[in-house]
């Protein structure tokens, strides 16, 4: 196997024997075959669009299947094989339609690969089409191929989430297919793929906008909300991941049953949504970020539902009480389909739950775009008076790799006349810190999940307009941590917007070659994080 799509990849170069994430060589190889097959479908789908053939089932399937290959999502070889098999079936069905409409279908390679019938045969095919087999004759070009593919994976995840809430844009699906197909086009060069990577960032903004609309139109605009970190005596269910639709289904199906529902990881911001807050048994937040789940899940006295990415290998102590949904899967773990959480409810009633109330700290969530822009006048006034000197967006992915304590130290050392905006699970390095307030404005503002990055973009654009300056002239610095492919898509979105001087850590992506990095440095002054003291001094002078 060879995989270098996440920040924690082995030795900073690539996992070759077993994934740091827990992905087996078998699963890695099957995912390689799935990605290759999706690239082939995309070639046919693009030709279909030229002759008026569009297939929404295929478009959505490509996004869901890509989502299944994100880091810490799907570790089940049988499940990946099912995706591969369906991909081939959809490809051949689409070929028939495109050919009948007069379109081109005579592609070779990914678009006409005849799948082996057995797992062993598919594994052999997967070994022939992985990253190391990329046909690019230049390491920079190969790196750009995979930068684009990983960015597209992030776009696909957001598009899948949005579709579940009734929001979609055919242009997003079309670009996913365009980008995947481009990586098979030998006529394209480095400049073409730099352009496609930036375009990916622009399309990702649209995908995040759709998801934002789906979330807010369905559940209301988040409002500032105090969330308890303690526990209540009684039966309990823990919901992790990112999916609001699954959370809503769980809340509906547990109403009146004496079960308290807790969030974990990036589900924390869901407490700010009015239509989820209305459930009296939606109690509080338990635990921190995804990499701590072994310890936290083992201690939870009820079932756990993993709705999207961030799953780790379940420990034996809780294998029987963890459930997956959507594109998430682990061999031997019960999977919930069609939003029917009956098995989870039954498990909660059978497990002990918490035996007593336990007080804990509280944290504030709900500072998404609507809430922050609602006090934009006060924010602008505080800046003009000199009460707020600078804003830091400290956000992104958390992880287990050493070096992430930098983000805690950075926030703790940020001067008291600065405001920290945060989103995604990177916030768990400092989410329960009491930073106080400036003129009634909390110094720590939780914008939401990584899925809510659109809110941060809108807030920044609104502040730039209010001050009459460009994004790069705002008293705003971006201090980002990355781990997986949604973070890659967000980074490309920021570059698409022309944002400069981004500090990225704890380490730079292994798939970005020195020459590609030089392009990013020369054009956007993107830079690795150093120490908190050095970076604060460089930013504030």
In this prediction, residue 402 carries a pLDDT of: 79
Residue whose tokens read 């690539």: 14
Whole-number Å distance between alpha carbons of 414 and 465: 25
Architecture of domain 225-350: 3-Layer(aba) Sandwich (3.40)
Q: How far is CA 147 from CA 8, 43, 131, 488, in A?
A: 16, 19, 12, 8
Whole-number Å distance between alpha carbons of 383 and 441: 12
10-217 placed in CATH 1.10.10.10:
no
Residue 540: φ, ψ to 5° = -95, -20
> What is the distance, to the nearest Å, from the Cα of residue 53 to the centroid of all Cα atoms in its chain?
31
Residue whose tokens read 């009948």: 100
Topology of domain 369-540, CATH = Rossmann fold (3.40.50)
For the CA atoms of 381, 384, 388, 392, the dihedral, rounded to the nearest 10 degrees, stands at: 100
Q: What percent of the chain has pLDDT over 90?
A: 98
Q: What is the pLDDT of residues 61-79, one digit of tens each?
A: 999 999 999 999 999 999 9
> What is the distance, to the nearest Å, from the Cα of residue 162 to the centroid of all Cα atoms in its chain?
13
Q: What is the pLDDT of residues 4-55, one digit of tens each?
A: 999 999 999 999 999 999 999 999 999 999 999 999 999 999 999 999 999 9
In this prediction, residue 134 carries a pLDDT of: 82
Tell me the average pLDDT across 190-212: 98
Beta strands 334-336; 322-325: pairing state: parallel
Q: What is the pLDDT of residues 268-296, one digit of tens each?
A: 999 999 999 999 999 999 999 999 999 99
Tell me the CA end-to-end span of the chain in Å, nearest whole number: 46
Tell me the average pLDDT across 372-393: 96
Residue 385: φ, ψ to 5° = -80, -10
Q: What is the pLDDT of residues 292-316, one digit of tens each?
A: 999 999 999 999 999 999 999 999 9
Whole-number Å distance between alpha carbons of 487 and 29: 23
Both tokens of residue 409?
A: 């130290």
- Look at residue 192 and tell me whether its pLDDT is greater than 90: yes
Domains 10-217 and 225-350 share a fold: no
Sign of CA dihedral 66, 189, 483, 123: positive
Both tokens of residue 179?
A: 């980008």
Instruction: Encode burial over 147-176: b for 16+ CB neighbours within 10 A, e otherwise.
Output: bbbbbbbbbbbbbbbbbbbebbbeebbbbb
In this prediction, residue 521 carries a pLDDT of: 95
Tell me the average pLDDT across 386-414: 94
Residue whose tokens read 């500090």: 503
Q: How far is CA 394 from CA 368, 431, 450, in A?
A: 15, 11, 12
In this prediction, residue 136 carries a pLDDT of: 73
- Look at residue 135 and tell me whether its pLDDT is greater than 90: no
E-assigned strands of 37-195?
none
> What is the distance, to the nearest Å, from the Cα of residue 99 to the centroid of all Cα atoms in its chain?
36
The domain locations on the chain are 10-217, 225-350, 369-540
Q: Which of 412, 422, 283 is nearest to 366 (CA)?
A: 422
DSSP string, 163-197: HHTT---HHHHHHHHHHHHHTT-TT--HHHHHHHH
- Look at residue 454 and tell me whether its pLDDT is greater than 90: yes
Sign of CA dihedral 365, 397, 180, 86: negative
Q: What is the pLDDT of residues 326-351, one digit of tens each?
A: 999 999 999 999 999 999 999 999 99
- Look at residue 199 and tell me whether its pLDDT is greater than 90: yes
450 and 486 Cβ atoms separated by less than 8 Å: yes
Q: Which of 501, 517, 498 is nearest to 509 (CA)?
A: 517
In this prediction, residue 400 carries a pLDDT of: 86
Whole-number Å distance between alpha carbons of 242 and 359: 26
* Sequence-separated (6 or more) residues with CB below 8 Å from residue 230: 284, 357, 358, 359, 360, 361
Whole-number Å distance between alpha carbons of 530 and 170: 41
In this prediction, residue 256 carries a pLDDT of: 97
SS3 264: coil
Mean pLDDT score of the chain = 97
């Amino acid at each position: 196997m060879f995989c270098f799509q996440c920040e924690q990849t082995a030795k900073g170069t690539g996992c070759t024997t077993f994934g740091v994430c827990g992905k087996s060589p078998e699963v890695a190889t099957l995912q390689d075959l799935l990605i290759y097959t999706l690239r082939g479908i995309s070639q046919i789908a693009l030709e279909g669009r030229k002759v008026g053939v569009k297939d929404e089932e295929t478009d959505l399937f490509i996004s869901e299947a890509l989502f299944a290959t994100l880091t810490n999502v799907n570790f089940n070889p049988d499940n990946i094989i099912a995706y591969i098999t369906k991909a081939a079936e959809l490809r051949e069905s689409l070929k028939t339609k495109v050919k009948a409409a007069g379109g081109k279908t005579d592609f070779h390679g990914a678009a006409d690969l005849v799948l082996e019938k057995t797992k062993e045969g598919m594994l052999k095919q997967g070994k022939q089409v992985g990253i190391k087999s990329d046909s690019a004759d230049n390491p920079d070009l190969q790196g750009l191929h995979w930068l684009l593919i990983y960015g597209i994976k992030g776009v696909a995840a957001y598009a899948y989430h949005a579709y579940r809430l009734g929001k979609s844009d055919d242009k997003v699906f079309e670009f996913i297919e365009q980008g995947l197909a481009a990586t098979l086009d030998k006529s394209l060069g480095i400049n073409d793929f730099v352009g496609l990577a930036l375009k990916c960032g622009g399309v990702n903004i649209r995908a995040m906008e759709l998801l934002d609309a789906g979330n807010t139109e369905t559940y209301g605009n988040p409002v500032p909300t105090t969330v308890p970190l303690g526990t209540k005596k009684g039966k309990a269910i823990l919901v992790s991941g990112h999916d609001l639709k699954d959370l809503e289904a769980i809340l509906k199906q547990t109403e009146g049953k004496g079960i308290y529902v807790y969030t974990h990881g990036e589900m924390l911001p869901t407490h700010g949504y009015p239509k989820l807050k209305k459930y009296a048994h939606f109690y509080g937040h338990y635990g921190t970020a995804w990499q701590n789940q072994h310890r936290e899940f083992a201690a939870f006295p009820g079932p756990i539902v993993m709705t999207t990415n961030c799953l780790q290998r379940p420990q034996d102590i809780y294998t029987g009480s963890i459930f997956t949904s959507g594109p998430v899967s682990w061999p031997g773990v019960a999977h919930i389909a069609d939003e029917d959480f009956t098995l989870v409810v039954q498990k909660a009633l059978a497990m002990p739950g918490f035996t007593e109330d336990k007080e804990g700290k509280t944290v504030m969530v709900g500072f998404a775009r609507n809430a922050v822009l609602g006090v934009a006048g006060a924010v602008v006034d505080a800046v003009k008076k000199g009460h707020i000197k600078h804003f830091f967006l400290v956000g992104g992915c958390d992880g287990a790799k050493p070096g992430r304590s930098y983000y805690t130290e950075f926030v703790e050392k940020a001067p008291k006349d600065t405001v920290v905006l945060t989103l995604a699970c990177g916030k768990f390095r400092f989410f329960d810190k009491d930073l106080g307030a400036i003129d009634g404005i909390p110094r720590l503002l939780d914008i939401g999940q990584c899925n809510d990055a659109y809110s941060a973009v809108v807030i920044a654009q609104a502040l730039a307009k209010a001050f009459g300056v460009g994004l790069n002239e705002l008293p705003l610095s971006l201090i980002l941590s990355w781990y997986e492919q949604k973070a890659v898509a967000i980074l490309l979105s920021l570059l698409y917007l022309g944002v400069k001087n981004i500090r990225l850590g704890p380490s730079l992506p292994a798939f970005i070659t020195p020459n590609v990095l030089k392009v990013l440095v020369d054009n956007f002054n993107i830079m690795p994080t150093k120490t908190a003291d050095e970076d604060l001094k460089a930013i504030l002078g």
